[in-house]
Amino acid sequence: MVIEKDKSLKHLNTFGIDAKASYYAEIRTIEDLCAVILHPMYRSAPKLILGGGSNILFKQNFNGLILHNLLQGIELLNEDENFVFLKAGAGVIWHEFVLYAVQHGWGGIENLSLIPGTVGASPIQNIGAYGTEIKDTFYELEAIDLQDATTHRFNATACGFGYRDSIFKREAKGRFMIVSVTFRLSKSPVLNTRYGAIEQELQAEGVTQPTIQDVSKAVIAIRSSKLPDPKIIGNAGSFFKNPEIPTSQFETLKAVFPELPGYPGLEGTTKVAAGYLIEQCGWKGKVIGKVGMHRQQALVLVNHGGATGQELIDHAVRVQDSVLEKFGIHLEMEVNIL
Ligand SMILES: Cc1cc2nc3c(=O)[nH]c(=O)nc-3n(C[C@H](O)[C@H](O)[C@H](O)COP(=O)(O)OP(=O)(O)OC[C@H]3O[C@@H](n4cnc5c(N)ncnc54)[C@H](O)[C@@H]3O)c2cc1C
């Protein structure tokens, strides 16, 4: 295995930040992974697992070893009358995995079509879209401890999934490389078309009895029309989480801002659309230097070309400060800052 030095990460993160890594290795087998992390030269080096780089913002160079996960393979592990247990290597492109499932008629992840990134990153923030999260179909994952190369299995409870959250963003942050993920997909899927614009898109296409293929196609069409393509303009999708605030606070705000969108959250909380808050503070489409919030999607922080990670973070903080001042709500960053 080749270990590259002073590797440019510009084409390995969707913000297009021109940061460098001291060392960089492409991981194509678990044996390679174990060999490199146990190697005396790299054993104590800081390590970062990189998938598609679609949820990372480099604010500086990475002084350590980047392990670029390219582990491949999709395997049908098991099946019964109702379900299949489908395992994928962590480096499989998430959307290709979704299409594989959809083509076979196995349901549960079709609403997550076209989310960028890899299968291995999907549990990190429990990716979600259009009323579905991976926790709904997740069965288990295998991970290698980066300290001693031991193998560990995590079921859904052990992953501690929450809204854009799991133990891999908290207590287990940076400790493991996820090497495979197994999903339990349904042979008789129950479609979830009520969320977002899926129903309208299906109607526009004249689909009255949708299949999972139809739902996947509808999601692809909606996402392609709504979200900025990182190949054209650097971004990492939603930069902030939708905040969950006490329902009493939501009602007080609603009296002042009658159009404030809110959805029932966990126990006495309401989830508020962060995009609305950002737009109300005047950030939507506003460009400062090389950065700004996207003109159609206020929640998406964009690099208009040549911005540094620090410039993007400074802008995110400006947005956070103004939302806090106007609404008394703290916006939490969803993207991983390095
Ligand atoms: C245009 C756009 C739209 C998006 N839409 C959505 C959306 O609808 N819903 C949503 O949830 N997300 C969305 N995202 C965010 C992103 O696609 C997901 O978070 C995705 O799972 C990131 O995958 P990745 O492989 O690119 O991870 P990376 O950005 O490479 O890594 C993200 C984090 O996970 C860690 N990591 C990655 N792989 C592993 C592994 N194998 N083992 C251990 N740690 C690992 C990294 O160290 C890093 O901390 C969007 C992003 C973009 C650019």
Domain spans of the chain, in order of start: 3-69, 74-226, 234-337
Mean local confidence (pLDDT), 107-131: 97
Q: Determine the pLDDT at residue 1.
A: 85
pLDDT given at position 267: 85
Q: Is 238 a catalytic residue?
A: yes
Mutate to test the pocket of ligand 1, among 68, 111, 113, 124 (most ligand atoms within 8 A of CB): 124
Average of per-residue pLDDT values in the chain: 96
CATH of 3-69, one of 1.10.3720.10, 3.40.630.30, 3.40.1360.10, 3.30.43.10: 3.30.43.10
The CB of 177 under 6 Å from ligand 1? The reply is yes
| 248 assigned to active site | no
Residue type, 127: I
C-alpha 208 to ligand 1 mean position (Å):
33
The predicted-structure confidence for 187-246, as pLDDT tens digits, reads as follows 999 999 987 689 999 999 999 999 999 999 999 999 999 999 999 999 999 999 999 999
What gap in Å lies between CA 277 and CA 146, rounded to an integer?
40
Q: Could you give the angle at the alpha carbon of 240 between the alpha carbons of 271 and 217, nearest 5°?
A: 80
Which atom of ligand 1 approaches the CA of 13 most closely?
29
- Is ligand 1 within 6 A of the CB of residue 178? yes
> How far away, in angstroms, is 310 Cα from ligand 1 center?
20
Is any ligand 1 atom within 6 A of the Cβ of residue 180? Answer: no
What's the confidence (pLDDT) of residue 201?
94
Strands 62-69 and 20-27: parallel
Cα distance between residue 62 and residue 338, in whole Å: 8
User: Is pLDDT at 6 greater than 90 in this prediction?
Assistant: yes
- Domain 234-337 classified CATH 3.90.78.10? yes
**pTM for the predicted model, two decimal places:** 0.96
Q: Is the CB of 234 under 6 A from ligand 1?
A: no
Alpha-carbon span 222 to 193, nearest angstrom: 13
CATH number of 74-226: 3.30.465.10
pLDDT of residue 195: 78
Do the two domains 3-69 and 234-337 of this chain adopt the same fold?
Answer: no
238 forms beta bridges with 300
312 half-sphere exposure, CB direction, 13 A CA radius: 31
- Model confidence at 266, in pLDDT bands (50, 70, 90)? confident
CA-CA-CA-CA dihedral for 87, 90, 91, 97, to nearest 10: 40
Whether the per-residue pLDDT at 179 is higher than 90: the answer is: yes
